[in-house]
């Protein structure tokens, strides 16, 4: 059952990414994010990167989008952890 939930989460994150970017994201990257972040934070990071992609009129490559999304996720997770402490 847990494997099914994880696969559903991975697919949901991939769909979120695909709605915002013309380039694909790897399952490996999604897995890395899932180890470090809550799925809701991942979606918010992707959404923030998507907004930046639009502001830049698509002048963002895969590496830039991944790094920006990861930065947002790292900040949000840190803030969440501080609030829980």
* Residue 41 placed within a domain: yes
Q: What is the average pLDDT score of the chain?
A: 93
Spell out, as residue ranges, where the chain has pLDDT lower than 70.
Answer: 1-4, 85
Q: Is residue 14 part of a domain?
A: yes
Predicted TM-score of the model (pTM): 0.90
Please state the domain count of the chain.
1
Structure confidence at residue 83 (pLDDT): 77
Query: What is residue 22's predicted lDDT score, i.e. its pLDDT?
Result: 97
Whether 22 maps to a domain, the answer reads yes
* Domain membership flag for residue 49: yes
Nearest to 30 by CA among 6, 2, 1, 3: 6
Identify the pLDDT of residue 48.
98
What's the pLDDT at 4?
A: 67
Give dist(CA 73, CA 44) in Å, integer: 8
């Amino acid at each position: 059952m847990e494997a099914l939930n994880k696969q559903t989460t991975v697919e949901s994150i991939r769909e979120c990414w695909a709605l915002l970017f013309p380039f694909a994201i790897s399952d490996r990257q999604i897995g890395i994010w899932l180890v470090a972040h809550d799925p809701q934070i991942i979606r918010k990071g992707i959404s923030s990167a998507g907004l930046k992609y639009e502001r830049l009129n698509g002048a963002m490559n895969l590496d830039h989008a991944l790094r920006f999304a990861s930065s947002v996720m790292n900040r949000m997770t840190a803030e969440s952890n501080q609030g829980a402490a």
